[in-house]
């Protein structure tokens, strides 16, 4: 009997966001769940509750000073955590703790064997660095999950795959010289889009050289350009044979996103997820954790994230 795909749902998770004038509004969670419900995958899914992380878990990736700074700013309730993208809204510390806690709960569910595949919308906050917030991202749940898998489960060879339109700089620079973190990221070329990093020559440092793949795509690149890049990612994953795969499945590369300039369709999300499921089955006992990441056109977000979950169900 196939295990259900775990999809995380709950108002504590929905609370992470920055208000209706900001691209990362708190409506994104409900928009996704409405689209998923319409896809009627019902009995193949298990809707799991959000969880809250504790400061010790944050400290697996972030500095104590930065964690205290977010807590203090959140109590104060105004200003920005970065240079204008990540406003302090009331309760942002608690909401950010929920994003991290939910990604870690999904990690635990997979490692316990309750499921092989899990999807956490809203998570995938890949810009936060060890020392600070950036680009709508307060705490880097993906970076924390990587450290958590190592500490709690002794899983060393982890693959982080990122198809968000923005480069996953927080994860890349957090593990740039770490040979056991396989990193593969397609994104809109940094010469045209935030955060400006992720050039093809950024292939890792020291012993990690060659274990990181950054593939910048030109403005207006569509599915064809993506799939060409994707073959290189698939080849790297077969070579590295990871024990656990994390996918940051940002939906902001789809045509019509208000803040980027790519032209993917949801076929990108469907095929990327299906391929990762097969690779996970071959090397990682099926273990695949996907996070929602970006995506600011609400219809696209529903379509792309539903395609991720559907591909997980169909390959389970
Ligand atoms: N790209 C982009 C973009 N758009 C915005 C933005 C637009 C409207 C607003 F009301 C507020 C912000 N900011 C940016 C980027 C940050 C993008 C973060 C993407 C997050 C993710 O999808 O990858 C994962 C969840 N920031 C910038 O371009 C920096 C600025 C240079 C311009 C915007 N101002 C507000 C700050 C400085
Ligand atoms: Zn993005």
The interface predicted TM-score (ipTM) is: 0.99
**Residue 109, pLDDT score:** 98
Round to whole Å and give the CA distance between 269 and 308. Answer: 6
Angstrom distances, CA of residue 136 to CA of 17, 62, 96, 124: 8, 16, 11, 11
- List pocket residues of ligand 1, CB cut-off 6 Å: 22-23, 83-85, 125-127, 135-137, 164, 166, 193-194, 250, 252, 259-260, 293-294
246 token code pair: 């994390």
Q: Could you say which residues of the chain have pLDDT below 50?
A: none
Express each pLDDT in 91-103 by its tens digit. 999 999 999 999 9
The confidence score (pLDDT) of residue 24 equals: 99
pLDDT score recorded for residue 103: 99
Domain ranges, ordered by start, for the chain? 5-315
245, containing H or E segment = strand 244-248
Ligand 1 atom with minimal separation from the 250 CA: 22
Q: Please report the pLDDT score of residue 82 as a whole number.
A: 98
Catalytic residue of the set 127, 167, 187, 269: 127
Q: Are 305 and 269 in contact (CB under 8 A)?
A: yes
Q: What is the pLDDT of residue 166?
A: 99
> What CATH superfamily is the domain 5-315?
Histone deacetylase domain (3.40.800.20)
Closest CA to 80 of 122, 144, 29, 132: 132
Rounded alpha-carbon distances, angstroms, from residue 125 to 12, 155, 176, 283 = 16, 22, 17, 26
């Amino acid at each position: 009997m196939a295990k259900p795909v775990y999809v995380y749902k709950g108002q504590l998770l929905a609370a992470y966001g920055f208000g209706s004038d900001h691209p990362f509004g708190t409506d994104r969670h409900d928009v996704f769940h409405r689209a998923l419900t319409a896809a009627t995958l019902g009995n193949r899914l298990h809707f799991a509750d959000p969880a809250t992380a504790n400061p010790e878990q944050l400290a697996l990736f972030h500095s104590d000073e930065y964690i205290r700074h977010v807590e203090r700013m959140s109590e104060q309730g105004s200003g920005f955590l970065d240079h204008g993208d990540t406003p302090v809204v009331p309760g942002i510390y608690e909401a950010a703790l929920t994003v991290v806690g939910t990604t870690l709960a999904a990690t635990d569910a997979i490692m316990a064997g309750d499921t092989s595949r899990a999807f956490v919308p809203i998570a995938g906050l890949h810009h936060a660095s060890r020392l600070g917030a950036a680009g709508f991202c307060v705490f880097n749940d993906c970076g924390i999950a990587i450290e958590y898998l190592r500490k709690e489960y002794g899983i060393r060879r982890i693959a982080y795959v990122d198809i968000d339109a923005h480069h996953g700089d927080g994860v890349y620079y957090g593990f740039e010289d770490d040979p056991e973190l396989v990193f593969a990221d397609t994104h809109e070329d940094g010469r045209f889009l935030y955060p400006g990093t992720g050039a093809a020559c950024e292939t890792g440092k020291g012993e990690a050289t060659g274990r990181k793949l950054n593939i910048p795509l030109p403005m207006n690149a569509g599915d064809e350009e993506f799939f060409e890049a994707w073959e290189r990612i698939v080849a790297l994953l077969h070579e590295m044979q990871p024990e656990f795969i994390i996918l940051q499945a940002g939906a902001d590369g789809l045509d019509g996103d208000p803040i980027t300039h790519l032209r993917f369709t949801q076929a990108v999300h469907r095929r990327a997820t299906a391929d990762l499921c097969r690779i996970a089955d071959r090397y990682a006992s099926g273990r695949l954790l996907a996070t929602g990441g970006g995506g600011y056109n609400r219809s696209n977000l529903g379509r792309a994230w539903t395609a991720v979950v559907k591909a997980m169900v169909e390959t389970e």
